[in-house]
Amino acid sequence: MKIRDKMTYLDNGATSFPKPAGVIEAFVDFAKNIGASPGRGAYEPAQIAEDKIDRTRQLITKLIGANDPNRVVFTSNASEALNLAIFGLLEQGDKVVTTRMEHNAVIRPLLELDRRGVIDILWTEVRDNGRLDIEQFYELLETPGVALAVTTGIANSTGVIVPFWQIGEFCHKRGITYLVDGAQLCGVYPVNVLEDNIDLLAFTGHKGLYGLPGTGGLYIGKGMEKKLRPLIYGGTGGHSDLPSMPDELPEKYEPGTPNTPGIVALGEGVSWVLEKTVEKIHQHKQKLLSMMLDILRDVDGIQLFGPKDDIDRTAIVPIIIPGIEPKIVADILWEEYKIAVRAGCHCAPQIHFDIGAPQGTVRFSFGAFNTVEDVEYAAEAVIEIVKNYAK
Ligand SMILES: Cc1ncc(COP(=O)(O)O)c(C=O)c1O
């Protein structure tokens, strides 16, 4: 096969690349020409900074179907947003229902509260095709004392879409707070926090929203701010005389100087996604997913993980070449083909036991900029590796 000179980037599950040109331009323009800290000065650039941050808030509000931009608070990534939700909400004796397909950004804060003796965690299993055992999840939600349900929107290891809209309805009827880890969901698959009954939605800026690393946030549903303690305490620009964090949103959860250039650039990423539409981006990636699955499904010497078809999953293709460690396959893909993928357990250790890949997988994850040619090239490379290396 003809080897490409340039990198073929298939690690969009880790971070999307490349970024839309407007994202980079907005970042540079802010850093070069504006520079001021928002809400902390009466001069024009400080006001411009504030307005630009508000614009990003409004665009995210639109993307997630919320109705109040002040309910979108910025953090440095999804991990911080999830920590804010989990540590801010849970009280002594609470029970939490979650799943074994979560990322460590959910698992570790929960386990920390478990270790401290604060909460009990009820884990829902993943079936071997990567889908959640939804019946077990609902059963666990009926346990007395459940205060919080936490699920990912889309599993980063398999691309499986969790039926968050059904879980939201179930939780809403029982008065259970529902937190969704939207790191792989926002910008990738349609979500509407109000219709889907999501109380808290964590997002990250650098994946499906096509912003830069160091940006993310938490959508805080109506009434949640009464229960949710801040994670970080400090200055908020205004209300300097108050000895505690102000009650107003978003200030209550946004102490310190924000990553203004990053948030401004994120606005361009979200605007780009809204213009293309989440549905069209999803459709394009579904085409790539179907193609990759169709080519690899019948190849001897390759094991595919996740659902067999392209239904209820997004453009993530985890594979194993039996006999070659996933990390070695990823190395060969890079060294010989300049294909960038990720190998291992993808910060989601439990699901890999449930799907029968305890040593992890090689994960191909497609983004909006990938093409049919990228899929053909990657599939051809995998088939060649099987031929050349597998015993
Ligand atoms: C499902 C899921 N949750 C949370 C995260 C953490 O996101 P961030 O690194 O932006 O904090 C990731 C990142 O890979 C993820 O895939």
Q: Which pLDDT belongs to residue 216?
A: 98
Ligand 1 mutation target, pool 12, 204, 210, 365, most atoms within 8 A of CB = 204
Per the prediction, the chain carries an average pLDDT of 96
- Give 7's pLDDT tier (boundaries 50, 70, 90): very high
Q: Are 147 and 96 in contact (CB under 8 A)?
A: yes
Considering the domain architecture, whether residues 115 and 152 belong to the same structural domain is answered as yes
Considering the domain architecture, whether residues 335 and 205 belong to the same structural domain is answered as no
In the chain the beta strands, taken as DSSP E runs, fall at 8-9, 72-75, 95-99, 120-124, 146-152, 177-181, 200-204, 216-220, 303-304, 316-320, 339-340, 342-344, 361-365
Model confidence at 40: pLDDT above 70: no
Considering the domain architecture, whether residues 333 and 208 belong to the same structural domain is answered as no
**How far, in Å, is the centroid of ligand 1 from the Cα of 184?**
7
The conformational region for residue 299 under phi > 0 = left, psi -120 to 50 = alpha, else beta, is: beta
Residue 169 lies in a domain: yes
The residue out of 276, 308, 337 marking a domain boundary is 276
Residue 265 lies in a domain: yes
pLDDT digits (tens, 9 = 90+) for 283-298: 999 999 999 999 999 9
Q: Which pLDDT belongs to residue 355?
A: 93
Considering the domain architecture, whether residues 163 and 216 belong to the same structural domain is answered as yes
Cβ-based burial of 165 (10 A; exposed 0-12, middle 13-18, buried ≥19): middle
Which residue range(s) make up the domain with 343?
A: 8-19+277-389
Q: Taking the mean position of all CA atoms in its chain, how far away is CA 265?
A: 18
Residue 98 lies in a domain: yes
pLDDT digits (tens, 9 = 90+) for 189-208: 999 999 999 999 999 999 99
Q: Is the CB of residue 102 below 6 angstroms from any atom belonging to ligand 1?
A: no
**How far, in Å, is the centroid of ligand 1 from the Cα of 87?**
17
Q: Whose alpha carbon is nearest atom 12 of ligand 1?
A: 183
Residue 15 CA, closest ligand 1 atom number: 14
Q: Whose alpha carbon is nearest atom 7 of ligand 1?
A: 78
CATH number (domain holding residue 217): 3.40.640.10
Q: Is the CB of residue 152 below 6 angstroms from any atom belonging to ligand 1?
A: yes
CATH number (domain holding residue 322): 3.90.1150.10
Considering the domain architecture, whether residues 284 and 320 belong to the same structural domain is answered as yes
Residue 1 lies in a domain: no
pLDDT digits (tens, 9 = 90+) for 229-247: 999 999 988 888 999 999 9
Considering the domain architecture, whether residues 271 and 291 belong to the same structural domain is answered as no
Residue 33 lies in a domain: yes
Backbone torsions φ then ψ of 75, nearest 5 degrees: -135, -175
Considering the domain architecture, whether residues 95 and 225 belong to the same structural domain is answered as yes
Residue whose structure tokens are 């650098």: 206
Ligand 1 mutation target, pool 76, 79, 98, 346, most atoms within 8 A of CB = 79
Model confidence at 309: pLDDT above 90: no
DSSP letters for 192-230: -TTTTT-SEEEEESSSTT---TT-EEEEE-TTHHHH---
Considering the domain architecture, whether residues 95 and 226 belong to the same structural domain is answered as yes
Residue 3 lies in a domain: no
Considering the domain architecture, whether residues 220 and 104 belong to the same structural domain is answered as yes
Residue 2 lies in a domain: no
Considering the domain architecture, whether residues 143 and 288 belong to the same structural domain is answered as no
pLDDT digits (tens, 9 = 90+) for 50-87: 999 999 999 999 999 999 999 999 999 999 999 999 99
Q: Is the CB of residue 202 below 6 angstroms from any atom belonging to ligand 1?
A: no
Ligand 1 mutation target, pool 83, 84, 184, most atoms within 8 A of CB = 184
Q: Which pLDDT belongs to residue 39?
A: 76
- Give 390's pLDDT tier (boundaries 50, 70, 90): confident
More confident residue, 128 or 133: 133
**How far, in Å, is the centroid of ligand 1 from the Cα of 210?**
14
Considering the domain architecture, whether residues 262 and 324 belong to the same structural domain is answered as no
Average pLDDT over residues 106-126: 98
The residue out of 276, 294, 324 marking a domain boundary is 276
Model confidence at 310: pLDDT above 90: no
The residue out of 210, 243, 276 marking a domain boundary is 276
Considering the domain architecture, whether residues 335 and 366 belong to the same structural domain is answered as yes
Task: Domain count for the chain, please give it.
Answer: 2
Nearest of 85, 78, 110 to residue 188 by alpha carbon: 78
Nearest of 315, 287, 300, 12 to residue 158 by alpha carbon: 315
